[in-house]
Structure 1
Amino acid sequence: MDSSARWIPRATGRFEFEQARLSDAAIRRKTDMTDLKGQGVQMQELLGLRFPPVAIAFRASAPPGMRRIDSPAPAGCGYWRRAADGEVFYTEARDHYTCPVGAHTHGIDLPADVAEQLNGLVQTMVQMQYISMEEIPRIPRRQGAFGVALYAPLTGAPFEPDVVLVRGNVKQLMLLAEAAQSAGLASGGATMGRPTCSVLPEALQSGRAATSFGCIGNRVYTGLGDDEGYYAIPGVHVTEVVSKLALITDANRRLEQFHQSRAN
């Protein structure tokens, strides 16, 4: 045995090892947060986004120090806009009761009175021929128990996102879709419509990017423009998509010049 090790108590050595390991973990967390900020900045700059990408995560409980939303939004998608405006917060299940359809897509178990509202709303939509009863079971729904949902702009997120939501115009979403396709993460399904919030469980459960044209409720609650939609990227794949995005945007600039020279 090395003589230098004999005088160090085993417990002390273990403590020192644990301290070093915790320090390494803290460094990794700091690096991860720096990476998130960089990815958010890159997406904004490469695409010229009007609103920053939003980080969303689902956890059993809120991180220490994070505030709960001060007042419920009319719909869950309203929280997207608040995060894009720079707020960092979390919501509980009851903060989603104002939109029974959104609560359903988020995997929230509704109390009897709210479930009755959902059924009434669905029946109204069916009567208006906005949706059919056959479509309802096919609406994506987040799996697992709902604890809290965390929201923040990606550039300032103090947590690892489960999904990153990008709001953009058709050209911006085109570039994102090409980057995701280049990364092997393009959605295998059609572009989604109502309800807009179903794009979150679709991306979460498929492990692939998902596109949504939005819905009329979302457009009212978020001010989504007529030429805008959403692109949802699983959080674990954001780095891959962003790395491809720089190449895709550069290639598109060159190809635009090429096509313009031919058109003229």
Structure 2
Amino acid sequence: MNNNELATALTKMLTLRWSPVAVKLVKPGEKVPEKVTQPSVPLRHCQAITLARRGNSLYMPPSRHACPDGAAIMGLVPMSPKLRSGELYLLFKKLPTIECAQKMIATRQEFEAGTYAATVLAPLEDATFEPDVVIFTMYPEQMMWLMCAASYSTGERHNFHTSGYNSTCADLTVQVMKTQQMNISFGCYGARAISDISDFEAYVSVPFQQLPTLVGALEKLSVKSIPEARRRIYMPPVIDKVACAEPVGGNSVDVRIDSNQCTGCGLCEAFCPEAVIRMVTMDGKQTASASAAEKCCACYTCAGQCPQKAIQLTVR
């Protein structure tokens, strides 16, 4: 898949509001990609991501970087002594002691000064280059599905390395390039103060080489898991006023199955975690029967999975 196809698939399956942003760090002497322009004013890396997700393709040498900390972290320029010491973090009241600031600096990922000569950013669909990483601005639900896609073939859980400092430069760009592992960020002082990321959004960064695999996994998740979760298929009919004035014992659940609606597909039996439902033959037809209703835990999985909406649960 090319960049445009990847972006189109991701936007459709995840219902993205913003374009995924392709980010490349250009080495000294490396050819500048086509169809990118220098911004008219210096920008922070997080601001450049904002502009790129809105449709701009940018070429940013050191002179176009407004944040000296971010430019140094990405290996474009040397780190100034005041930034390296952590002094500025105390002046901004971000951390209480110089020891805390130095520990934060020592544990973040950086590139050595001079490793790179510029950054290039573009909406993934318009990128004329192969990105190092692709950065998403997403809602938590969309982030969850990207996590699921990353685990789809392995079942592995994720460990993220992040903080509230240097989010887009260190956590989303350098960290992901060095480790070749997906990472998340909730933004930082700069990213929240000078970009339009909403209070309900966060970032995910993915190594570009992993994107086709993620798209393939999302295609499989889009067959069943994603649409079912978005339809809230396990939501009970009433979930308000659940508090009881008096302590009560165990609940009993009335499991009603409309045999006229039931087609005998067997999904309810397969998905029931407590083996409450089994398939029986009635009048020569396979149908579901709540043969062990006393074990029902009211998880609503059977009702949610039933394609005919033939199952109704009533908790007493």
When normalised by structure 2's length, the TM-score is: 0.64
1:151 corresponds to which of 121, 136, 145: 121
Q: Give the match for residue 253 of structure 1.
A: 227
Q: Give the match for residue 194 of structure 1.
A: 165
Which consecutive residues of structure 1, in runs of 5 or more, have no partner in the other structure? 1-31
Are the aligned partners of 1:180 and 1:186 in contact in 2 as well (CA < 8 Å)?
A: no
> Which runs of structure 2 are paired with 1:233-248 in the superposition (5 Å)?
233-248=206-221
Are the aligned partners of 2:90 and 2:101 in contact in 1 as well (CA < 8 Å)?
A: no
Kindly indicate whether residue 67 of structure 2 is the aligned counterpart of residue 99 of structure 1. Answer: yes
| Residues 1:127 and 1:222: Cα distance change in structure 2 (over 3 Å) | closer
Q: Distance in 2 between matches of 1:145 and 1:190?
A: 22
Are the aligned partners of 1:208 and 1:233 in contact in 2 as well (CA < 8 Å)?
A: yes
Are the aligned partners of 2:60 and 2:119 in contact in 1 as well (CA < 8 Å)?
A: yes
| Identical positions, percent | 22
Higher helix share: 1
Q: Give the match for residue 110 of structure 2.
A: 141
Q: Give the match for residue 57 of structure 1.
A: 24
Q: Which structure: larger Rg? A: 2
Q: Distance in 2 between matches of 1:65 and 1:52?
A: 17
Q: Distance in 1 between matches of 2:95 and 2:50?
A: 28
Q: Distance in 1 between matches of 2:42 and 2:102?
A: 29
Kindly indicate whether residue 14 of structure 2 is the aligned counterpart of residue 36 of structure 1. Answer: no
Q: Give the match for residue 21 of structure 1.
A: none
Q: Distance in 1 between matches of 2:93 and 2:106?
A: 14
Q: Give the match for residue 76 of structure 2.
A: 108
Q: Give the match for residue 288 of structure 2.
A: none
| Residues 1:127 and 1:69: Cα distance change in structure 2 (over 3 Å) | closer
Instruction: Give 1:129 deviation, angstroms.
Output: 2.5
Q: CA RMSD in A?
A: 2.6
1:180 corresponds to which of 150, 154, 159: 150
Q: Give the match for residue 163 of structure 1.
A: 133
Instruction: Give 1:205 deviation, angstroms.
Output: 0.8
Count of equivalent residues: 227
2:38 corresponds to which of 40, 49, 68: 68
1:110 is paired with a residue whose SS is: coil
Amino acid at match of 1:254: E
Q: Distance in 2 between matches of 1:158 and 1:214?
A: 27
> Which runs of structure 2 are paired with 1:21-32 in the superposition (5 Å)?
none
Q: Give the match for residue 55 of structure 2.
A: 86
Kindly indicate whether residue 229 of structure 2 is the aligned counterpart of residue 229 of structure 1. Answer: no
Are the aligned partners of 2:48 and 2:58 in contact in 1 as well (CA < 8 Å)?
A: no
Q: Distance in 2 between matches of 1:183 and 1:202?
A: 23
Which consecutive residues of structure 2, in runs of 5 or more, have no partner in the other structure? 237-298, 301-312
